[in-house]
Chain A
Amino acid sequence: YEVTQPPSVSVSPGQTASITCSGHNVGDKYTSWYQQKSGQSPVLVMYQDNKRPSGIPERFSGSNSGNTATLTISGAQAVDEADYYCQAWDSRLHVVFGGGTKLTVL
């Protein structure tokens, strides 16, 4: 099973950024999203499609339906610049990561 992300997304400060994660019937699976800033470890920003961990700003939201899961950042800020990875589980309970999306806020 594979999930695919766009290599890069650009957004102006204050605008909405949408990062997609495409896979066959990914809407039937739970997805998680991780933010990785340069030189740092990944950090969970969304789990079970649309649940936000404690400490993650409300501007982060998630959805998952059909063949696409989406991480949305409403009112993106410079501090949100990072690589974002989606993650799912296949039918054998093996973990699948997307290739990552570099978010640029400028």
Chain B
Amino acid sequence: EVQLVQSGAEVKKPGESLKISCQGSGYSFSLYWIAWVRQTPGKGLEWVGVSYPGDSHVIYSPSFQGQVSFSADKSINTAYLRLASLRASDTAIYYCARLSSGSLSAGNWFDPWGQGTPVTVSS
């Protein structure tokens, strides 16, 4: 079974940084793109970006460029999302999701999704 398991809930203060993990299992982790999606309280889904663990290729949403960074450790099948200089507006649930193939194309879909990592930023 293909599965993505994310790290647990986080509480941070403004200005701090945070790293969320997303561990894949049941498939060849290096061969599929991973997407990151943010959902603020009571709101919809926002695309943060995608990364390819195989060669560390990343694409960031213009809305998040400069505020986030992606990385991966292929040895433990884990992708990471780093959020720097946290603000209260970063309070959200962050999801990782696997793209349907190793080729980035407009025909891709996201499946499965991780369970989400709730992040609270408060002084």
| Interface of A toward B, CB cutoff 8 Å | 29-30, 32, 34, 41-44, 47-48, 53, 83, 85, 87-89, 93-100
Sampled A-B contacts (12; CB under 8 Å)? A34-B110, A41-B114, A41-B115, A85-B44, A87-B45, A88-B106, A89-B106, A94-B61, A95-B47, A95-B50, A97-B37, A100-B45
- Given known pairs A94-B61, A95-B35, A95-B50, the reply for A44 and B111 (CB within 8 Å) is yes
A97 to B46, CA, bound (A): 7
Q: Nearest residue in B to A41 (C-beta to C-beta)?
A: B113
Interface majority SS on A: helix, strand, loop or mixed? strand
A83 to B39, CA, bound (A): 13
Contacts of B59 in A (CB 8 A): 93-94
Question: Is the CB of B66 closer than 8 A to any CB of chain A?
Answer: no
B108 touches A43 (CB 8 A): no
A37 to B95, CA, bound (A): 15
Add 7 more A-B contacts to A44-B111, A89-B106, A97-B47 (CB < 8 A). A34-B110, A41-B114, A42-B95, A48-B109, A53-B111, A93-B104, A97-B46
